[in-house]
Amino acid sequence: DYIPGGYHPAYIGEYYKGKRYKLVRKLGWGHFSTVWLAKDTEDNKHVAMKIVRSAKNYRETAIDEIKLLSKLNHTDPEHPGHQHLVKLLDYFDHQGENGVHICMVFEVLGENLLSLIRRYKHKGLPIKFVKQIAKQVLLAMDFLHRLCGIVHTDVKPENVLLELEDVEQIVQFLENAQKQRKEMLKRVHSTRVSSASLGDQTSPIDISASIDEANDFPRTMSRKGRLSRRQTLITGSQPLPSPLRSKSNSFFVSPLDTNQTLPGTTPFRGSVSNFDMEDLSDNHSRVLESLSSISISAEQRLHQWEPPKAEELADDDILRVKIADLGNACWIYNHFTDDVQTRQYRAPEVILGAQWGCSCDIWSVGCLIFELLTGDYLFDPTEGRSFSKNDDHLAQIVELLGPIPQELIAVSRNGKLFYHSDLQRLRRIKNLKPWPLQNVLMEKYKFSETDAHEITDFLSGMLVPDPKKRMDAAGLSNHYWLNDCNVEGYVDREVGTRGEDISGWYKEVRLHHHH
Ligand code: ATP
Ligand code: MG
Ligand code: MG
């Protein structure tokens, strides 16, 4: 895709906007862009730079994204949700060999919530974190919906990113690791070690340990494949940078990105106790390969950190997040498409092809919070031989939450495709097995009755099939379940409000044209 209209073949060290930004390393990529860590030489700090593919449609989408992001920047920064949305710092055109690329500059953020869910092995995050995330996401949604007039339309774990406590410290840390890696490879190339033996099945980390000993290298690695949370890294003197605000400052590292596979991480299996580099011939390259995989282990360790368990959390530990990727967002008075939301987070009105608005984000927030609590999708529809994904999706919604109001089905574009003319029975799925949310939480996920009851009380305000009756973000942010969550910020609004005064809450706002 590095062709005309495609990605810009960016490289480390390349300058942008004159000499202002210098690329440091790749952070990630998406359908529209590649995203780079860059040094802002004017403000002397690091930023994330999104370089958009140059083809016309990508360009146009990017221009919309910039307009939406600019609206956030120009809307009341005092609102407590403002700080939980990604911030556009700069944007400009860059002339490359594959065309003109729009570049957007953001603050550098950490991992997304999907990778956090994975780190908790799909068993759910500690409730305390979920409450904190819920509160921040709801405050952000209130800001977006009520103050900016924007619908995000793609709320999901991948689009909520952890804030980094100290970007410069983490960048420094990775740069040191890289230096160390280069240094190490240089020394391995030039060092003779006596008598080689290859064969034992062991992890690459063990190999490095024995090489360290043989060569009297400074001990850089632990013998263990995994880094325990409280260990210090690399030189043994540099503590792990922590994005968690915690007095104890004892754990929690976040890498800049975990989506990308690191080069050279393929583990070489086999141990090297003592060996002579010059005798290795065939194995030489494999050994070097394994060494390069070891020497990036600083990064790997960042990738391997284990998140804290509930009982290890201090009272003032707080996990801060930001909503990112406004790439699919739209205006309450200008929906760019009706084909919105990622499947698992898609609201019933969108599935049915009825009118939708801000409240579709609230549905997604409900799905997101359930997923954070349990590590599983709330709805994960699949296609069968006799029914579609949409059929299954609607059936799952009904099983969990009860019937979808007939009035909604009646006014929807596709209702008749899914439902018999009674607007009650699905055409292709009979025998629904009701399993209400509270029971699911207790029976499948083993929450206590109290927890399950409270969670259900909270989530059922969001998981209202009728988009008009769904509770709004600010009201929900004051729900009692979030009382003890330790997140600052309050919007004066009663729990239970249902977007009555929010324009575009459940349908696109028509602009009046004066002729
Ligand atoms: P999509 O296909 O999701 O629409 P996209 O091309 O619009 O992709 P983004 O989702 O904005 O791009 O970014 C792609 C990836 O780059 C993200 O998944 C993330 O890993 C990384 N990334 C984006 N923004 C940042 C940031 N501010 N800080 C750190 N990493 C980021
Ligand atoms: Mg994205
Ligand atoms: Mg995008």
Instruction: Report the alpha-carbon angle 257-262-267, nearest 5.
Output: 135
Assess: ipTM above 0.95: yes
Mean pLDDT for 69-88 is 98
Q: Which residues surround ligand 3, an ion (CB under 5 A)?
A: 325, 327
Q: What is the pLDDT of residue 335?
A: 97
- Measured from the Cβ of residue 66, the count of other Cβ atoms closer than 10 Å reads 16
Q: Please determine, for residue 446, whether its predicted confidence score (pLDDT) is greater than 60.
A: yes
CA distances from 372 to 116, 129, 234, 323, 446 (A): 9, 9, 32, 15, 15
Q: What is the pLDDT of residue 511?
A: 81
Residue 189 Cα to ligand 1 midpoint, Å, equals: 37
164 touches ligand 1 (CB under 6 Å):
no
Residue 241 Cα to ligand 2 midpoint, Å, equals: 25
31 touches ligand 1 (CB under 6 Å):
yes
Residue 31 Cα to ligand 3 midpoint, Å, equals: 7
- In percent, the amount of the chain with pLDDT more than 70 equals 74
Q: What is the pLDDT of residue 419?
A: 98
Q: Please determine, for residue 286, whether its predicted confidence score (pLDDT) is greater than 80.
A: no
CA distance 370 to 459: 8
pLDDT one-digit tens code per residue, 235-281: 222 233 333 333 322 222 222 322 222 232 222 222 233 333 333 34
Residue nearest to atom 23 of ligand 1 (CA): 35
Indicate the top mutation candidate among 35, 57, 340 to test ligand 1's pocket, ranked by most ligand atoms within 8 A of CB.
Answer: 35
CA distances from 183 to 102, 170, 178, 236, 298 (A): 37, 20, 9, 17, 14
Q: What is the pLDDT of residue 304?
A: 65
Residue 85 Cα to ligand 1 midpoint, Å, equals: 14
Residue 496 Cα to ligand 1 midpoint, Å, equals: 34
* 3-state class (DSSP) for residue 419: strand
Give 146's DSSP letter: I
Residue nearest to atom 8 of ligand 1 (CA): 30
257 touches ligand 1 (CB under 6 Å):
yes
Q: Which helix (H) or strand (E) holds 100?
A: strand 99-106
Residue found by looking up tokens 């070097």 in the block? 288
Q: Which residues surround ligand 2, an ion (CB under 5 A)?
A: 30, 325
Name the average pLDDT for the chain: 80
Predicted model pTM: 0.81
Atom of ligand 1 nearest to the CA of 257: 20
Q: Please determine, for residue 431, whether its predicted confidence score (pLDDT) is greater than 60.
A: yes
pLDDT band at residue 454 under the 50/70/90 scheme: very high
pLDDT band at residue 301 under the 50/70/90 scheme: low
Q: Please determine, for residue 209, whether its predicted confidence score (pLDDT) is greater than 70.
A: no
Residue 113 Cα to ligand 2 midpoint, Å, equals: 12
CA distance 125 to 118: 10
30 touches ligand 1 (CB under 6 Å):
yes
**Nearest alpha carbon to residue 59 among 99, 2, 116, 22:** 99
Tell me whether residue 430 is annotated as binding. no
Mean pLDDT for 331-341 is 97
On whether the CB atoms of residues 34 and 8 are closer than 8 A, the answer is: yes
Indicate the top mutation candidate among 159, 320, 325 to test ligand 1's pocket, ranked by most ligand atoms within 8 A of CB.
Answer: 325
Residue found by looking up tokens 């890498």 in the block? 255
Q: Which amino acid is at 3?
A: I
138 touches ligand 1 (CB under 6 Å):
no
202 touches ligand 1 (CB under 6 Å):
no
Q: In this structure, is the dihedral angle defined by the CA atoms of residues 382, 384, 387 and 388, taken in order, positive or negative? A: positive
Q: What is the pLDDT of residue 118?
A: 92
35 touches ligand 1 (CB under 6 Å):
yes
Q: What is the pLDDT of residue 281?
A: 40
Q: What is the pLDDT of residue 174?
A: 75
Mean pLDDT for 48-60 is 93
On whether the CB atoms of residues 340 and 360 are closer than 8 A, the answer is: yes
Q: Which residues are catalytic?
A: 154
28 touches ligand 1 (CB under 6 Å):
yes
Mean pLDDT for 181-188 is 58
Q: What is the pLDDT of residue 172?
A: 83
Q: Please determine, for residue 435, whether its predicted confidence score (pLDDT) is greater than 80.
A: yes
pLDDT one-digit tens code per residue, 467-515: 999 999 999 999 999 999 999 999 999 999 999 999 999 999 988 766 5
CA distances from 130 to 141, 165, 186, 243 (A): 16, 19, 46, 17
